[in-house]
Structure 1
Amino acid sequence: MSTPSTRTEAWSREQLAENPHERQDKPERVRSMFAAIARSYDLNNRLHSFWRDQAWRKTAVKLADVQEGDEILDCACGTGDLTLAFASTKAKRVVGTDFTQEMLDIADTKLHDSSGRVSFRQADAMNLPFDDESFDVVSIAFGIRNVADPKKAIAEFHRVLRPGGRLVILEFDEPRNPVIRMGNNFYCKTVMPMTATLIARDRSGAYRYLPKSVETFMKREEMQDALRDAGFSDLAARPMTFGVCVCHAGRKPGS
């Protein structure tokens, strides 16, 4: 397993004074960031979501409405938590992809299925190495915000889905209640960057990037508009944990 240095700074405070989504070098910085924090990623997810991240993934699996024999693609799968949650369903095949190999290295250690039904491979969500209409379900958890062009990735999801296929997207959002939003902002921008950085022994700036990337990313209605523009129908958006996280769902028209 590769062990990248956690001392390499992917995101400086000066760089995050601007919108990180507008940087041309965003993909390289995101890849470097995730390579640096891969080993502590799961622990930080559990601690800093107060163990809610697993419940959010269970909701995504439920909204995906997996049927027996379905083939599922989990994009930006990271260390494989959502991929493996889908593996507990009656799906025929589950594929997890991510463009950071160090994250996939961790995912591979969790895989205890020798049948080949579940697999991981390196791939970019904006250029998926799969034929048109290859999957019945496509998912992405906390990853659409990190791709260089989210709308291009959504178009790819639509391309690889079969008619009638389902898309589920988990993503952070800003709570609408002003009091909850203020508390969440303090936690995400002040507390979490310190504690998560200590746990990860990280110097990449990952936990400075996280709140800034959420703040500057498309909001709930904008995401729904992007899905609609890409051709998805039967759209739904389910806020969870006071609106900190939203599960978006849509369907590719057809039988």
Structure 2
Amino acid sequence: MNGGKLSDKEQLRYSRHIMLDQVGETGQLTLKQSHIIIVGVGGLGCAAAQYLAAAGVGRLTLIDHDRVERSNLHRQILFKVNHLGKSKAQVAANQLLAANPDIAIEAIDKSVLKVDLSPLLASKPMILDCTDNSDSRYFINQLCVKHGLKLVSAAAINGQGHLLSFDLSNEQSPCYACLYPEPVNLPQNCSTAGVLGPLLGVMGSLQATEAIRLLLGKTEHLGKLTMFDAWQMSFNAFQLNKASDCPRCSK
């Protein structure tokens, strides 16, 4: 994979991107040279990873320790019945490489809480938090604060979703813990409260869109909370402020 220019095949594959003033050949080359770590390959991660791979992000790292279950199939659209019992990270990597063999994809079949990410962070990758539990979310947030990384986080339950993005290399940026300061496991998740299948596609696609925008230097949405209500088909956005007493990001 030549990171210095686009091949003729890539010029054709990404031609509809290259036509856009906001992307162009320079922007597409930026995507090719970028690295994104996706933590969680469930409903959010399946949607986000497919669009990022299709868009030509040159390197993706997928982290998930779960196995594919039948109850996943209504929303985790990379997985099929013949994948039941198999590693989500590895199956997703195989599916994405089949769709775009010109990018690099690494599958890590472990919990993010048990992975030494240090070797991956030297290149300052962007992190997509597609997890569904607070322990992982606070761990990822703290990792991004410590290493000054960009973080795009989403969540979905029932018919409601939210999207957040931060550039934690900026000391003035709020972080996930500024909005949700107490690291307490919430009693509800998709397993206990249910979730509308396509909602995960909406929120995961928004994560991919925001990730691409940030790679292209479009930062006006940083530090905002976007809420989506699928039952009302409505969006609302709110600017977040850095909490002066945040135990995660305030010095």
TM-score, normalised to structure 2, is: 0.41
Question: Which protein has the bigger helix share?
Answer: 1
Which has the higher relative contact order, 1 or 2, with Cα contacts under 8 A spaced 6 or more apart? 1
